[in-house]
Structures are given as C-alpha cells and as structure tokens.
Amino acid sequence: MVQQWWNDIVRWFNSDGGQTVVTSAIIPFVAIVVGGVVAGLIARGAIKRLLAQQDREQKAAAVATLIAAGRRAATWSTLSAPEKDHVEHQSTEAEVRVRLLPVLGATLAADWAVHQLATMKRNSTNYSFQAEQDLSDFQDGLIAWQSKPARAKKLFAQDLAAWKYETAAIPSEEEQLASKQREWSASQPASTNSATAVIPEPASK
C-alpha cells in the first residue's frame, strides 16, 4: 500500500502536470518562504545591533556625565551654591540613567558612583593629591565598567562591601558625641552640696 502510494507520487512528479505544479507553484512558494525567513533574520540582527549601539551610546553619555560631575565634586568646597545645585542635579540624573541601563552591574555602578562622589565632596576642602587620586580612581572605575562590565561589577561589589564594613565598624558622629558626653559625665565628681538641700532655720530667741 505504501509502496503503491509512493510510486503514484513519483509518477505524478515526473508527469507534465506534476512538473508544471512544481515549477509554477511549489518552487516559488518555497523561495518566498526562504526569502522571508532570511529577511527576518537579517532584520532581527540589524535591530539587535541598533539596540546594542543605542545602549552603548546611552552608557557612554551617562558615564561622561558622572565623570563631569566627579570633576566638579573634587572642587566642591570652592563652588557657589548655584553651581552645587547644578552639579547635584547633573549627578542625580546621570545616576538614574545608569540604573536604568540594561547592562550588567548597572545598579552596582550607580551605588559605587554615588559613594565616590560623596567621598570627593567631603575631601574637597583642599584640592590636594588625595582629591586628584579620588577623581582618578572614579574615572578609571567608570571607564573600566563601560568597557568590561563583568569585571568592573566584581570590583564595585568588593568596594561596596568594604565600605559597608567600615561604616559599621566606625561609630557615627552622633554616637561618638553621645559616648563623649557619657564619659565626661562619669568623670565629674559627685556634688557635696545638693541644689535642693534644706537650709536650717535660725533658732528662735
């Protein structure tokens, strides 16, 4: 039964009518399908490349904005109030843009940048070697993340963990002040004259 069915197909294929159907219908249909699949793959690849390029451009723009904010943060103490407001707005906008990037380690990069900017602002009293070093580390870290996100992600995670440990180990200013007040109170001698002591009345004559 199967052999007979196969023989019928072969005979039809070799007949004039079969050849006409194959050349006028089947081959064009297959060619259209294959062409559509190839065109779809090409378009998909082009869209992926376009999206990847846009992501790279967005990341580069956000990193450049953060670096510009870092340069201003290194001289934070010398800036006027309007300049500080502008830098704050600039750095906050860049931080948000970095967090929204579909790139590996974007959140860690934003957290790391925020911490580094705050550190540079605190160390900006004098534009010294430390300020220059902080700015250099800031720029190098962001550029490394832009070129090699996976490697920089690990470094950011290590730095953030170390900073968190240091923050937990060092008491805050309020805690240090309260501790000093307790130590000062404990070191004071007890008063021999109570403020509420009763003064004896003079004897009546």
Question: Residue 113 — very low, low, confident or very high, per pLDDT cuts 50/70/90?
Answer: very high
pLDDT at position 114 is 92
**pLDDT (mean) for 99-127:** 86
Both tokens assigned to 61: 């723009």
> Which of 27-31, 66-70, 123-127, 179-183 shows the lowest per-residue confidence on average (mean pLDDT)?
179-183
Q: What is the pLDDT of residue 111?
A: 92
pLDDT at 176: 55
Q: What pLDDT sits at residue 169?
A: 59
Q: What does DSSP assign to residue 40?
A: H
- C-beta separation of 94 from 65 below 8 A: yes
The domain locations on the chain are 57-167
Percent of the chain with pLDDT over 70: 78
Buried b (16+ CB within 10 A) or exposed e, 51-64: eeeeeeebbeebbe
pLDDT one-digit tens code per residue, 139-148: 999 998 888 8
pLDDT score of 24: 76
What pLDDT, on a 0 to 100 scale, did the predictor assign at position 128? 64
Torsion 92-96-97-98 (CA) sign: positive
The whole-number pLDDT of residue 188 equals: 64
Mean pLDDT of 25-36: 81
